[in-house]
Structure 1
């Protein structure tokens, strides 16, 4: 492939230089592992904010920056992804905070399509939990390298060597600790940096609202102060050296090993070391493969992938934003791009960078950056925008839904608002919207990965679109892809219902459970009943 030509909007050398400074990553974890707290702590250490807050703040402590949605602040959980751009250490860190709750796994999957690295956050007491395992499987499927951060070391938990063994045994990822805690979980004294064998003693700040105070101690002083905790840590470090648990760049980038750091996000212990590891170890943007499998060079003309749609972030304007990961080239606000799905031009006059719910106009962006295009009515999740020669990236698959409910407007006089709201939530991917000839457009079937998605739909329909709805839950637990020839036969079977997925026109059949599905398959061997994506892999239930 010939080198890209330099034009006023495409300067390959500049693009390569700027891309090398970018680190685009996501934080993934099981609920309650401290993900939003870590996100806030990273921003605090990078001096992007001046005071950290907890989700359930007390006194004058405010809510977490990344949890901007009203429901998130009320419930204390992340239910939508958020983008935070942070300048630190000569690099641009694009942190994509993901929903912590398992019911919003699909949103997390979309985010992982837009990052180059992931931080896998573990609770020191609980280790690998079900949601963590599912998300790691997605990282493995997408070949996203993983840095592990063992959180909450300031609280009672498990032995560090036990946690490392669990990582290797359960997910086949070789852990390579970059630092090592002095003091057992719940009696956190400080951290030994394995790269230079230095020791940093940590001092808690009031409420963890500011950066933790760090004190460097030589080995003699550390042994005098920490006593038995120091001796134990040194013995464990010797064991790590004997088994060869040392960082290896090639195996990390290949997804074979994972650098491990210990810390505690709430009091801001060890967060600075994590930031430095991101800058030093996390990969910069690399060429992305298009739908044909051909990598698009970083320095090629602009291309970007829409990985998220979000409406009404600004209550005053009720706008709709498309979050785009820049895959190649330089972006300049005002440039006219091509929408790959339609071939039509797309203007970029209103383009912003976001920091949680805060936003400001952005004029330029480079590979790895996330830009938000305002009032992007024509775009959908998985769309490609480009300049110059056509490129289209692979679509982002939808998850296999397991929960279904019929939605109806409570006020028939607000049916237009009802339709507009349902279509908007469908476009954003909050739920999948299915329709059928039997039920009609006025009673769409909402399909979700988890039931909490329905709570989000009801809340947003009432408060954003002023069209309250009622939901009638359906007794189905599986969805399968079918075809026009199979649909009439399936329509006549008990325990099954055929609907159309609105976005792509595919036919889906809903089935009560896997046992009913097996009976249908046994009695009708010629029917098309294809599994959908579930958690990054094909759903074979």
Structure 2
């Protein structure tokens, strides 16, 4: 996205698939900024392990902690990469200590940095007993890798300056005494994380991390669904949509549904059943992603992520199977924390604005509520930055300048209960009632007191802050 290039941050999750040293990798990059945490939560339902990237100078940041909690709820194995070691960064023990303290997880070093900032020359690979040296002159040059026999090998002195070597020997000895040894089973259970050090801008340390993911990361895991779990070894194809992205290519009004394959061997042209509508769907042009490039996917297996271009039939949480009625569970939709009304700069373009908002609502980029009384829409998001992203995307993709204005409401809750109770509640609270893009009833609140009052006066109703994205 243009905005991502301008600001230098991810505002939307993106996927890429590639082969590396005998393994098939499906990487999903998620926004690190806490304002886009909902997109990240949903993406985490589609992955089997997470790579936590930490800045060598900043250490564990607040959004890292939030995302880590989500990984922990799902017992995801976590592998850690400490980046920007070629800049001034903190003491290695301090970084490891902070991860252990703040995230309550055992950390075991897979590599150890030699020098720091300007003195950083590479890493000692503690798992394979090798010296990895970085070439500062050429970013695209692969690091020189030298096999050594233990830390008393005289070869070390040939490549590492004396003052750095002395520090390395002392630190590695301390690390081996104080920190736990790598236990592959504990990594798979999510209790331990191996940490690699490097500098991504210099392409250093990334290859070792990739080797580590191949060796210690899990294979595709069973997927929780109703009425039964889906196992990756099953012969029948099943997959679910965890993200929808509109207008990925600005030249075409396309929408791509990102589908995580849960089982079976998918082939291009297959007819799959769209469980929500019970209609067959021929998947004739599925794509695989590599950054901004796409290629046709002739086949896919469990664990792969493919993109299915469509005209709005597929939504987040939809399941595709070979006929069996399965519904994937655990894809959440959160109540927004900020609500604003939206108006088009040109009042004649209200219809265009509605179309744009519905598209973003189906994509999960924002919640869009239509109040029962009055015209216009109320847009709800998790973080302030999302309003800026929405305004910029509506202008870029639809040519519609819009403005967001303060709303009298501060939060929203989904309403559920018996039909008679819900009807009685709606008639008594019309000015607070709205519908989301799925047509579900939403209660818009001004204060916490509104929620307490409803819970007191209408015990048969349930107000919820999350909604399962399952139809």
TM-score by length of 1: 0.79
Q: Cα distance 1:343–1:120, how it changes in 2: closer, same or farther (>3 A)?
A: same
Is 1:424 matched up with 2:355? no
Alignment CA distance shift 1:487-1:165 (3 Å): farther
Asked whether the equivalents of residues 305 and 327 of structure 1 are also in contact (C-alpha less than 8 Å), the reply is yes
CA distance in 1, matches of 2:33, 2:99: 21
Equivalent residue, structure 1, for 2:146: 216
Relative distance call for 1:487 and 1:266 in structure 2 (3 A) is: same
Q: Does 1:283 align with 2:243?
A: no
The answer as to whether partners of 2:230 and 2:262 remain within 8 angstroms in 1 is: no
Q: RMSD value over aligned CA atoms?
A: 2.4
Cα displacement (A) at 1:231: 2.1
Aligned equivalents of 1:481, 1:377: Cα separation in 2: 24
Cα distance between partner residues in 2 of 1:522 and 1:433 = 24
- Residue 172 of structure 2 aligns with which residue? 237
Instruction: Give 2:419's aligned residue.
Output: none
Instruction: Please give the residue correspondences for 1:40-79 in structure 2 after superposition, counting only pairs within 5 Å.
Output: 69-79=1-11
Other structure's SS at 2:200 match = coil
Contact preservation (8 Å) 1:156, 1:186: yes
Structure 1 pair 212–267 and aligned structure 2 pair: CA distance change class (3 A): same
**Shift in Å at residue 201 of structure 1?**
2.1
Does 1:462 pair with 2:395? yes
Distance across 2 between alignment mates of 1:234 and 1:477: 57
C-alpha separation between the residues in 1 aligned to 2:9 and 2:321?
A: 35
Q: Could you give the per-residue CA deviations for residues 398-419 of structure 1, whole angstroms, max 9, x where no partner exists? A: 1231111112233233333222
Matched, 1:453 2:386: yes
CA offsets per residue over residues 321-369 of structure 1, 9 Å max, x none?
A: 1110111001111111111112111121121112222212111111111
The answer to whether residue 65 in structure 2 is matched with residue 137 in structure 1 is no
| Secondary structure of the corresponding residue to residue 241 of structure 2 | strand
User: Is residue 26 of structure 2 the alignment partner of residue 91 of structure 1?
Assistant: no
Provide the rounded CA distance (Å) in 2 between the counterparts of 1:243 and 1:141: 28
Please list, as runs of the form range in 1=range in 2, the aligned pairs for 1:261-300 lying within 5 A after superposition. 261-300=196-235
Q: Specify which of 24, 43, 49 is matched with residue 117 of structure 1.
A: 49
Cα 1:296/1:383, change in 2 over 3 Å: same
1:262–1:406 CA distance, 2 compared to 1 (3 A): same
Partner residue of 1:386 out of 316, 321, 328: 321
Maintained 8 Å contact 2:433/2:441: no
**1:485-500 matched pairs, under 5 angstroms:** 485-487=424-426, 497-500=432-435
Residues 98-109 of structure 1 mapped to structure 2, 5 A cutoff: 98-109=30-41
1:155-182: CA deviation from partner (whole Å, max 9, x where unpaired):
1121111111111111111001111111
Q: Distance in 2 between matches of 1:517 and 1:184?
A: 55
Count of residue correspondences: 457
Distance across 2 between alignment mates of 1:73 and 1:487: 45
**Worse overlay, 146-155 or 241-250:** 241-250
Distance 2:232 2:146 in 1: 44
Contact 1:102 1:131 (8 Å CA) reproduced: yes
| Deviation per residue, 1:49-102 (Å, 9 max, x gap) | xxxxxxxxxxxxxxxxxxxx1111122211111111122112111111112322
Determine helix, strand or coil for the equivalent of 2:398. coil
Q: Report the alpha carbon displacement of residue 293 of structure 1 after superposing the two structures with TM.
A: 5.0
Give deviations 1:222-245, integer Å, cap 9, x for gaps: 235322322222222222322352
Partners of 2:83 and 2:362 lie apart in 1 by: 35
TM-aligned CA distance change 1:509 to 1:359, over 3 Å? same
What is aligned with 1:342?
277
Structure 2 residue ranges without an equivalent (≥5): 417-421
Please say if 1:191 is aligned against 2:126.
no
**CA apart distance, 1:115:** 0.9
> How many Å apart are 1:269 and its aligned residue?
1.8
Q: Cα distance, 1:215 vs. partner?
A: 4.4
Partner SS state of residue 203, structure 1: coil
Contact 1:117–1:283 (8 Å) recurs in 2? yes
- The alpha carbon displacement at 1:186 in A equals 4.8
- SS of 1:87 mapped into structure 2: strand
For residues 525 and 211 of structure 1, what CA distance do their matches in structure 2 show? Answer: 67
**CA distance in structure 2 between the aligned counterparts of 1:159 and 1:286, rounded to whole angstroms:** 36
Report whether the alignment pairs 1:251 with 2:186: yes
- Alpha-carbon distance change, 96 to 228 in structure 1, aligned in 2, over 3 angstroms: same
Post-superposition offset of 1:124: 0.9
Say which of 402, 409, 412 aligns to 1:479: 412
Does the 8 Å CA contact 1:189/1:226 hold for their aligned counterparts? no
User: 1:87 and 1:319 mapped to 2: Cα distance?
Assistant: 27
Who is 1:160 aligned against? 92
Cα displacement (A) at 1:520: 4.3
Mapped contact 1:322–1:376 kept (Cα < 8 A): no
Q: Is the CA contact 1:204–1:213 (under 8 Å) kept in the aligned structure 2?
A: no
Check the 8 A contact 1:352/1:362 in 2, yes or no.
yes
- Separation in 2 of the partners of 1:223 and 1:477? 64
Task: Call closer, same or farther: CA 1:376–1:392 in 2, change over 3 Å.
Answer: farther
